Amino acid sequence: MKIYKARAPMRIGFFGGGTDVSPYAEEHGGKVLNCTINLYVRCMLNPSTQPGLTIRSLDLQEVSRMVSGRVWDGKLALPQAVLDAMPHLQPSLEATQPGYKITMFSDAPPGSGLGSSSALVVSMLKLLYNVANESFDAHELAELAYRIERVDLGIPGGRQDQYAAVFGGMCVYHFGKGRVIVEPVVTDPTALLELESCLIIGYIGDRQLLRHHLMEDQVQRLVSGDTLRYHDETKAFVDEATRLLRELRIADFGRLLHDAWEVKKAFSPHIAPPIVDEVYALARRHGAWGGKITGAGGGGFMVFACPFDRRLELERVLREAGVQMRPFSFVTHGVQAWTVQEHV
């Protein structure tokens, strides 16, 4: 019995976040620096004794099924949309025959700001391609994941998460009209090791995206011309950050995070609610050079850069403030899939 598995990494976005969102990316050109980390969304497909196709999310504790007629029951909209978008890759289903089940879970909660939704879509797509024994172009896979999230489901956001999950590593992504250029920026592993030794991440709670329609608010402010210059400034940080990273100037990289965070907060008043400001101020008082929210804002994970010898102190005070600290490492790979033979 064959069992198919896949995993796609999440990412920490460092600089340029928001410039990958339409219409800025198409009209002005977006640029983002991010790196994948060893937190994953994982999927598995194997035969089931029940007919049809069953999706089970272990972390959300939800189950969705499709027996015939391509009609789903259940609440798992994202994996359902992936399967609906790729009917030719689905295993054949007969109402009178045993079916298949897809089991999944994420190493981070939904709304974490680490790109978990896109990692789920990319992981499932890779899984389905592996089951069908079909190859794919990496850019096309990222664009397909983007279409499923942003067009088919209408979830607002940009393109950096899908590309990071596919390509992996520390990269600058250049977003323009009809094209995306992927630029790996670090060839010396020392740079990633040194940066990693000075970074900590912690979860401060669910984002308030639905309450404040955060992404829509940012887009509206951009379209009305209120925040265009802040987007330009945010994009300009990417080149400087890349240079500092290559020169192993990690302290300056961390201080640049602070400068960029001050600009990013101007995108929308909802990016930094009081809890975020309080945690950030606490981190700065205990040695952090700088930091930021790892996603669009409102909550989720925060990342801080600090001197090596202040790291434990910073972790302690943040933990005492209720922040859930999370160990992590950088990874240089994107989505992966493999097949094993289960012996029963």
> Which residue in the list 20, 107, 161, 217 is annotated as catalytic?
161
Max Cα-Cα span within the chain = 65
DSSP string, 200-217: EEEE-----HHHHTHHHH
Residue 64 CB: number of other CB atoms within 10 A?
Answer: 19
| Residue 342 DSSP class | P
Instruction: Give residues with Cβ within 8 angstroms of 171, minimum separation 6.
Output: 33, 34, 35, 163, 164, 182, 183, 184, 185
Residue 80 CB: number of other CB atoms within 10 A?
Answer: 18
Instruction: Give residues with Cβ within 8 angstroms of 189, minimum separation 6.
Output: none
161 catalytic? Reply is yes
Nearest C-alpha neighbor of 39 from the set 92, 127, 118: 118
Asked if residues 135 and 337 have their Cβ atoms less than 8 Å apart, the reply is no
Give the start-end residues of each E strand in 165-258. Answer: 170-176, 179-184, 199-203
Q: How far is CA 131 from the centre of its chain?
A: 24
Catalytic positions are 161
